[in-house]
Amino acid sequence: MSINLLSEPIRKFIREKRWDELRPIQLAAITRILSTDLNYILASKTASGKTEAAFLPILSKVNFDEPGVQVLYISPLIALINDQFIRIEDLCKYMDVIVTKWHGEANKSLKEKIIKEPQGIILITPESLEAMFVNKPYNVKQLFSNLKYIVIDEIHSFIGTDRGVQLKSILSRLQDINYKFFNIVGLSATIGDYEEAKRFTGNVEQTKVLLDRGSKDTIVQFRYFPTDKIMELPAELIENLYEETKDNKVLIFPNSRGRAEEVAVELKRIAGKKKGHQNYFSHHSSVDREVREYVEHFAKNNKRESFCISCTSTLELGIDIGTVDEVVQIDSTNSIASLIQRVGRSGRRNDESSNLFVYATRPWSLLQSLACWLLYKEGFIEPPQTNDKPYDILLHQILSIVKGFSGISQTDLINRVTKNFAFTQISSIEVEEIITHLLQIDFLEKIQHDIIIGLSGEKIVNSREFYSVFKTEENLKVVHAGNTIGEIPFSPMIFEDQNILLAARMWKIKSVDFKSKRIEVIKANDGKKPLFFGTGGYCHSMIREKIYEILFSNQEYEIIDEAGKLEIENLQKEFSVFPIKDINTERPLKINDKKLSLYTFAGTRINNTIGFLLNVMEIPNSLNDSSSSFDIESSRESFYDKWGNILQSIAGIDKHITDFLESNPGILDFSKWGLYLPVKYQVQLLKQKYFDFQNAEELITSCRLVENKE
């Protein structure tokens, strides 16, 4: 029996907790981790005990009497570290094992203590590891040269991202300073590509996936409240949402921070009128950390009272907030992976069913919500967007390595970078060209045989912003009576007497100090309130193709209310003018006087590519609100004449992108470090991350355009 393989202190812990039985993922992990020296990816549904699945066998296997930190836990969120610290420390209570939090908000004296006497377990973010490599590389070696295990929580959140490439590089650099290879255990509820997850270990062949296919039922209802207003939700939707959620513990996921605030404030207002509970909160990155922690603590420890948290992706990951009865999604997510994470927050105890309510306010949002749900039921998860040649993160890591060594020969630098398993597809010639460019722009400087950080580079690497590879927006701190409430993004809408929404309350701006980036507010009860919206994410082609399928389907969807069914019927009638016989090979082209509408039903990157090719061919176009069609200002004859030759422009595409970059440098805003690359590598970065020429070419080549008929 797996439990008998565990050490006595761990078995005692289990007995004290009175666990009747271990979860399937825990049983499998105990047997495999204790009996092998392989890397593992533990994949199972939310709240299935993955943290314990990793740490029960690791704590039983590792000899913590050996010098140095033995186990490193890496998390994408500081809040998750704080949450998991309690669980891991609890697991260690019968063992003499020190558990230390290491991030910008953690206790400084405890960090200094662990440096003097490295031992036990450290919980850390990739950015804090990066900062250690840059500023105190001797601490890295002192702490981590005898590591046995690294546990990566929510590993799916790193896959296919710049942050993930950075983490891979850091893991490779940790292996370089280790006495022997350590093992890696990744944890996730949502993975669309297990092979990509296995690459985080640097050794795919020695990495196995333990997959718990168990799932729980999800009860879903779709409700449609159409509106033409962009700045606010329909009053009827808010009223319905209040009645649905007032007697439950609920998470509501709008798709922006501004919308999250609107929902929290409006529900709280209705509750005040109807004498309901007042436990309405907002939770997102602009809310002050202490306020967020209070909300998390209240939700986790409150056993009887109903509550409602209107949140963004900050509560999408594994922070434990206790039992949630319902999850509400307002308008569509951009990914199935995100939907899975959110659904998993409901019914976390005793394998109850999950309860999901989806509210839609626009026709195409309704369609996308339904498409995501159908794909979720089919078991589809988007594969990550991989980037074999992440030149921008390579540039960042070159600066990090040079700074950490305080001078390194070019040969040694190139060797270190090319053997790093995050950059194996990038040649030494390409690395050398990027180093040469960094020397030219004074980010690096050569002194005799060594390369050091140049004068311009010093300003970059000495900034706190250097440790992260994602862009952070410019924020203004919001203060009321000396207490920080949170932050809001800079906006020209910010001025005195303007009302804002933050931390589930309405505030009136008393004063604005742009120099100190500070806003003083007082409580407000009326007035116009600006909303701050997040940017839309990337949408996979499978979602758009499922929308296309729904439009030409006769299937009825009982999970949708009558208003939603009627809207879908209207859309189906609208598209019935296209005699489509095969949705795989045909695409609608709507002819309307001199204006055309081309429906691609393609993903974001393919649409980016098609729009770019249309511009190259001098076909005026704009992507429609549905993000599935282009509005084209052209006659039918002129369009067909140019469309037939559109693929010819791909032959000289690098020149076209270079010209485009010169006139639109902001196109690289998705990459924090791409701006500093040589132009030819900026072009390659755009081709890899913003465009998708291969699939766009396949779509254009294979599809036949079908016009609308009277």
The reply to whether 234 and 336 lie within a common domain is yes
pLDDT tens-digit map of 79-93: 889 889 999 999 998
Do 9 and 111 belong to one domain? yes
The reply to whether 409 falls in a domain is yes
For the cut 50, the answer to whether the pLDDT of residue 432 exceeds it is yes
pLDDT digits (tens, 9 = 90+) for 246-279: 999 999 999 888 899 999 999 999 999 999 999 9
Per-residue pLDDT reduced to its tens digit, 155-199: 998 998 999 999 999 999 999 999 888 999 999 887 877 898 999
Q: Assign 531 a pLDDT band (cuts: 50, 70, 90).
A: very low
Q: Is 521 helix (H, G, I), strand (E, B) or coil?
A: strand
CA distance 189 to 159: 13
Convert 348-364 to b/e letters by CB count within 10 Å (16 or more is b): beeeeebbbbbbbbbbb
Provide the 8-state DSSP code for 395. Answer: H
Distance of alpha carbon 247 from alpha carbon 243, whole angstroms: 8
Please report the beta strands in 182-279, taking only residues with DSSP state E, as ranges in sequence order. Answer: 183-188, 207-211, 218-224, 249-253
Sort strands 586-592 and 704-707 into parallel, antiparallel or unpaired.
parallel
For residues 546 and 535, state if they share a domain. Answer: yes
Same domain, 18 and 116: yes
Same domain? For 352 and 404 the reply is no
Give the model's pLDDT for residue 273: 93
pLDDT at 619 over 70: yes
**Taking 90 as the threshold, does the pLDDT of residue 61 lie above it?**
yes
pLDDT given at position 672: 94
Question: Range of 50's domain?
Answer: 2-211
- pLDDT of amino acid 2: 79
Whether residues 369 and 254 fall in one domain:
yes
Domain termination residue (choose one: 211, 228, 259): 211
- Is 156 part of any domain? yes
Residue 39 belongs to some domain of the structure: yes
Residue 528 has pLDDT above 90, yes or no: no
Contacts of residue 337, Cβ cutoff 8 Å, sequence gap at least 6: 156, 190, 192, 381, 382
* Average pLDDT of the residues in 128-143: 95
Residue 28 and residue 128 in one domain: yes
pTM as predicted: 0.89
Question: In this predicted structure, what is the pLDDT of residue 271?
Answer: 94
**Tokens standing for residue 281:** 């909160």
Task: Give a yes or no: residue 480 inside a domain.
Answer: no
**Residue at which a domain ends, from 436, 467, 498:** 467
For residues 552-560, average pLDDT: 93
Highest mean pLDDT among 9-23, 448-462, 655-669: 448-462
Identify the residue with better confidence: 218 or 142: 142
Both tokens of 379, joined, read 């078991």
> Does residue 305 lie in a domain region?
yes
Domain count, the chain: 4
Confidence of residue 534 (pLDDT cuts 50, 70, 90): very low
Mean pLDDT of 302-328: 85
Same domain, 256 and 160: no
Q: Is residue 268 included in any domain, yes or no?
A: yes
- Asked whether the predicted pLDDT for residue 625 surpasses 70, the reply is no
Please report the pLDDT score of residue 288 as a whole number: 87
Q: Is residue 475 part of a domain?
A: no
90 & 198 share domain: yes
Q: Which of 179, 211, 243 is the last residue of a domain?
A: 211
Tens-place pLDDT, residues 588-605: 999 987 789 999 999 999
Q: What is the pLDDT of residue 348?
A: 55
340 and 463 share one domain: no
The dihedral built from the CA positions of residue 217, 222, 223 and 229, taken in this order, carries a sign that is positive
**Which CATH number fits the domain that encloses residue 449?**
1.10.10.10
Please tell me the distance from the alpha carbon of residue 435 to that of residue 487, in angstroms, as a whole number: 38
The full DSSP string for 135-182 is H-HHHHHHHHTT--EEEETTGGGTTTSHHHHHHHHHHHHHHHHSSSPP
Q: What is the model's pLDDT at position 601?
A: 95
CATH code of the domain covering residue 6: 3.40.50.300
The answer as to whether 479 is a domain residue is: no
Mean pLDDT of the chain: 90
Give pLDDT, residue 213: 78
- Local structure of residue 520 (DSSP, 8 states): E
CA–CA gap between residue 361 and residue 363 (Å, rounded): 7
Q: Are residues 37 and 78 in the same domain?
A: yes
Percent of the chain at pLDDT exceeding 70: 95
Instruction: Quick: pLDDT tens for 22-58.
Output: 999 999 999 999 999 999 999 987 777 899 999 999 9
Same-domain pairing of 569 and 673: no
